Structure 1
Amino acid sequence: MKLYYYDHCPFCVRAKMVAGYKQVPVEYIVLLNDDSETCMRLVHKKQVPILEFDDGSAMVESLDIAHKFDEIGEKSRVVSPATDIQKKVTDELSEVSSDINALLFPRNVKASLPEFATKSAIEYFQGKKEKNLGKSFDQAMAETAEHKKKVEDKLATLSFHPDNTNENLSWDDVMIFPTLRNLTIVKDIKMPQRLQDYVKHISALTGIQLYYDRAL
């Protein structure tokens, strides 16, 4: 099996979390951000993650792929059921989604991520995301302090108090961790200690790398 993904993509992180935790033998392939051809060949639309099976068939939708990995992975490594906290936390984070995007999008292309290894891949992403933001990446970077404060204020009051000693991944984690992980690309972003411990704990549990070493 092959999993095609982007490193910065939170939906891809969902699938990779379960694959890593459940010890699924899968080949990971990073696509260039402007590689439409591979996506169209496999699933007839530009979308990641894509799971390609050995018989050449393929599937999309991050949670469907994550559940497939749960089904075929190591049975002794249980993914705990979701709770009501998942929606509460994702709703709270969505209140500052425009600020999160303004922090993440320009840093994604500056942090030497593999999906942006070519100029054309960077230009493709930047053109789309600047329209999404309604501002240039340069402007978003210049406004870092403003966006960072709004996100930090939200993190400080987030309704999430994880048990960082639990060695079982949960479906709550699959939904909550990707955004917090991606925020580690923002240099010196302030998270409550419980959230700092959480992202490190889930990173160790799943093999998903954090961005502290390339934060901007």
Structure 2
Amino acid sequence: MKLYIYEHCPFCVMTKMVFVLKNYPVEVAYLLYDDVQTPMQMVGRKLLPVLEYKPNVFMSESKDIIQFIDQNLGQPKVIIPEVDEITDWVKGVERFIYRLTYPRWIRAPFPEFGSEESRKYFHNNKDPSGRGFMSDLADPALLQRAQRAIDDLEDILFDYPLIDLERDLSMSDFSLFAQLHSLSIIKGLVYGPTVDRWRNKASETCFIPLNDEFAN
């Protein structure tokens, strides 16, 4: 199998997780962000992740990929219903997080932004009005909103189990880590002990580094 992804993409992070948790090898391929032709040829749209699970047979959408891998490789593990409190938290973060992550992702050493053309394509695609998403980089209201979300998560995760290769998982585990992975590129956020322990354990278990080292 071959998994086509972007390093920054939270939905791609989710699909990388399932292969580690199922202990199944997969070839990972990073596409430049301005590579429109490859995903169009595979699934008819410019989007990732895309899984090639048979020669020239492709599947898109992160949850579909996770469910397919879970159901077809070994014993099912993703069988617990989503946790409403975590699902609501993720949805709340999704309402604003991209305004903070867009200007940071494009400055990070991700393979999808390995050319000037790919960075220009991302900028034009995410800022078609030309008003400039870089203005959100240090927006104090957005940064305070992100910090409040992290503070709220401390109580939510107090009794929530760490990601463990031995336990059954919920889709909430995948979406929660994906959002914490995205938040980790924002420099200056303070994580409480429970959230910090959860995100680091998930990172270590799934072999997906957080973005702390080049947060900006």
TM (norm. structure 1) is 0.88
Secondary structure at 2:28 match in 1:
strand
The code of the aligned residue for 2:206 comes to T
State the identity as a percent.
30
Which 5+ residue runs of structure 2 have no aligned equivalent?
none
Call closer, same or farther: CA 1:135–1:160 in 2, change over 3 Å. Answer: farther
Secondary structure at 1:95 match in 2:
helix
Tell me how far 1:12 sits from its aligned partner. 0.9
The residue number in structure 1 matching 2:14 is: 14
The residue number in structure 2 matching 1:130 is: 127
- Larger strand share, 1 or 2: 2
**C-alpha separation in 2, matches of 1:169 and 1:203:** 17
Q: Which moved more, 1:114-123 or 1:62-71?
A: 62-71
Decide whether the 8 Å contact of 1:51 with 1:65 is kept in 2: yes
TM (norm. structure 2) is 0.88
**C-alpha separation in 1, matches of 2:133 and 2:13:** 24
The residue number in structure 1 matching 2:77 is: 79
Decide whether the 8 Å contact of 2:67 with 2:78 is kept in 1: no
The code of the aligned residue for 1:170 comes to L
The code of the aligned residue for 1:126 comes to H
- What does 1:188-207 correspond to in 2, within 5 Å? 188-207=188-207
**C-alpha separation in 1, matches of 2:78 and 2:180:** 20
Call closer, same or farther: CA 1:50–1:165 in 2, change over 3 Å. Answer: closer
Decide whether the 8 Å contact of 2:90 with 2:175 is kept in 1: no
1:2-37: CA deviations, max 9, x gaps? 100111111111111101111222100011111110
Decide whether the 8 Å contact of 1:130 with 1:137 is kept in 2: yes
> Is 1:149 matched up with 2:144?
yes
Tell me how far 1:96 sits from its aligned partner. 4.2
The residue number in structure 1 matching 2:29 is: 29
Tell me how far 1:84 sits from its aligned partner. 4.7
Tell me how far 1:205 sits from its aligned partner. 1.5
Tell me how far 1:90 sits from its aligned partner. 3.0
- What does 1:84-95 correspond to in 2, within 5 Å? 84-85=82-83, 87-95=84-92
> Which one of the candidate residues 94, 97, 101 is aligned to 2:94?
97
The list of structure 1 runs, each at least 4 consecutive aligned residues, that deviate by more than 6 angstroms after superposition, is none
Which 5+ residue runs of structure 1 have no aligned equivalent?
none
**C-alpha separation in 2, matches of 1:148 and 1:125:** 22
- Larger helix share, 1 or 2: 1
**C-alpha separation in 1, matches of 2:189 and 2:116:** 28
Tell me how far 1:74 sits from its aligned partner. 4.7
